[in-house]
């Protein structure tokens, strides 16, 4: 017997758009006992998502939904949300798009009826986007992650509660903020870093191979996200142009100062110190204050089974590993593995690994 659907989601939920996010919402809600229907402009995506257990294909004669979750490309959000507000005059409608203010303006323009607008509450789960499509979906995508819920001035309290019930049913942690606050937050923590990675990576395209031969882990980390889908990112940037413009202008001011300092030999410390403070300001694992961690470097032969042996030994030693990094420098038959552990555990782990025959770099 399936579990009883959570309070607030006792009716049917329609998921409109079954890519990575929509299908994952369907999987999580179905697992929670909710009656889910799925729609998408691409019928094969509906078949796939339904086959995975995300819900039943939407059709004629379906019960009226209590909630519609719109999970379509950013540029279409306003149009699709408005269409569902009109098509389902009793339903709460939300969306899971990466920006919140521009779609709200679009919805408001398309839905002049104040009563209809009350039923719309935007939201944004902070879940991975390296992959796409229903096959990449998973019921646990949102577990423990922040899910921004962004009511507008006229959103009905009951509609906000329904959307918060959705986030809770998916295992996420609700963070309530206004659409503007949300957009400023993701401009700073996601969209600006993405564009800075793009600008950095742009200097590598077409560079001489002998220059790129000196690439280390640093440049790989700084540029990784710039490998993301240009079509998606064009839409995200366009939809959050206001908040991004402000930050990009601040960066240009800093860049001008940096250029002048490099050219004239003026002190760089204030800028470098601000960067260091920024890194320290990012909240730690599990949302708390960052745990002070220390690196333990271990030489590991680059073939199957060796990492297993290392982690088995670390596990037996009883030290929790907070993070792992494998060094990718060219030409090393032996990899250097960096294990990040609590400060106070680092020396214990080093000694214990050495006594088990590992080469630990001190």
Q: Which of residues 265-284 bind its own copies (CB under 8 A)?
A: 265, 267-269, 271-284
Using CB under 8 A as the binding rule, whether residue 198 contacts its own copies is answered as yes
CB of residue 38 vs its own copies: minimum separation in angstroms? 17
The two tokens of residue 151 are: 């009511």
Q: How far is the CB of 60 from its own copies (least distance, A)?
A: 31
Token digits of residue 319: 């030290």
Q: Closer CB to its own copies, residue 108 or residue 360?
A: 360
Residue 126 found at the interface with its own copies (CB under 8 A): yes
Residues near its own copies (CB under 8 A), total: 145
Chain residues 286-325 in contact with its own copies, contact rule CB under 8 A: 286-288, 295, 297, 299, 302-316, 318-325
Q: What is the 3-state secondary structure (H, E, C) of the chain?
A: CCCCCCCCCCCEEEEECCCHHHHHHHHHHHHCCCEEEEECCCHHHHHHHHHHCCCEECCCCCCCEEEEEECCCHHHHHHHHHHHHHHCCCCEEEECCCCCHHHHHHHHHHCCCHHHHCCECEEEECCCCCCCCHHHCCCCCCCCCEEEEECCCCCCHHHHHHHHHHHHHCCCEEEECCHHHHHHHHHHHHHHHHHHHHHHHHCCCCCCHHHHCCCCHHHHHHHHHHHCCHHHHHHHHHHCHHHHHHHHHHHHHHHHHHHHHHHHCCCCHHHHHHHHHHHHHCCCHHHCCCCCEEEEEEEEECCCCHHHHHHHHHHHHCCCCCEEEECCCCCCCEEEEEEEEEHHHHHHHHHHHHHCCCEEEC
One residue of 105, 109, 115, 255 binding its own copies per CB under 8 A = 255
Interface with its own copies (CB under 8 A), residue from 113, 158, 250, 343 = 250
Q: Which is nearer to its own copies, 117 or 122 (CB)?
A: 122
Residue 153 interacts with its own copies (CB under 8 A): yes or no: no
User: CB-wise, 150 or 155, nearer to its own copies?
Assistant: 150
Binding marks (x or -) toward its own copies, 103..122, rule CB under 8 A?
--------------------
Is 174 a binder of its own copies (CB under 8 A)? no
CB of 24 to its own copies, least distance (A): 9
Site for its own copies in 60-89 (CB under 8 A): none
215, 346, 348, 356: residue in contact with its own copies (rule CB under 8 A): 215
Work out whether 175 is an interface residue with its own copies (CB under 8 A): yes
- 193 lies in the binding site for its own copies (CB under 8 A): yes
- Sole binder of its own copies in the list 110, 194, 342, 356 (CB under 8 A): 194
| Contact set for its own copies, span 327-346 (CB under 8 A) | 327-334, 336
């Amino acid at each position: 017997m399936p579990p009883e659907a959570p309070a607030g989601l006792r009716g049917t939920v329609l998921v409109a758009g079954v890519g990575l996010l929509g299908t994952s919402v369907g999987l999580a809600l179905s697992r929670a006992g909710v009656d889910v229907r799925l729609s998408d402009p691409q019928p094969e995506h509906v078949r796939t998502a339904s086959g995975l257990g995300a819900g039943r294909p939407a059709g004629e004669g379906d019960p009226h939904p209590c909630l519609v979750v719109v999970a379509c490309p950013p540029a279409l959000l306003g149009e699709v949300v408005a269409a569902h507000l009109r098509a389902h005059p009793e339903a709460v409608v939300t969306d899971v798009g990466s920006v919140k203010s521009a779609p709200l303006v679009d919805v408001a323009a398309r839905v002049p009826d104040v009563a209809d607008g009350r039923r719309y509450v935007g939201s944004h789960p902070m879940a991975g986007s390296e992959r796409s499509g229903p096959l990449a979906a998973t019921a646990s995508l949102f577990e423990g992650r922040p899910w921004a819920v962004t009511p507008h001035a006229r959103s009905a309290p009951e509609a906000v509660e329904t959307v918060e019930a959705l986030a809770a049913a998916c295992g996420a942690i609700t963070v309530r903020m206004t659409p503007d606050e949300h957009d400023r937050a993701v401009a700073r923590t996601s969209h600006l870093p993405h564009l800075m990675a793009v600008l950095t990576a742009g200097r590598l395209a077409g560079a001489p191979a002998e220059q790129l031969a000196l690439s280390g882990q640093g440049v790989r980390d700084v540029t990784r996200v710039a490998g993301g889908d240009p079509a998606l990112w064009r839409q995200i940037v366009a939809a959050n142009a206001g908040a991004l413009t402000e930050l990009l202008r601040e960066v240009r001011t800093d860049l001008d100062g940096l250029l002048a300092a490099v050219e004239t030999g003026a002190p760089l410390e204030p800028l470098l110190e601000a960067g260091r403070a920024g890194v320290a300001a990012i909240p730690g694992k599990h949302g708390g204050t960052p745990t002070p961690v220390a690196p333990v470097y271990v030489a590991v032969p680059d073939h199957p089974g060796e990492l297993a042996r290392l982690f088995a030994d670390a596990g037996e030693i009883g030290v929790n590993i907070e993070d792992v990094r494998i060094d990718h420098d060219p030409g090393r038959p032996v990899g250097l593995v960096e294990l990040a552990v609590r400060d106070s555990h680092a020396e214990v782990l080093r000694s214990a690994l050495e006594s088990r025959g590992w080469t630990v770099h001190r």
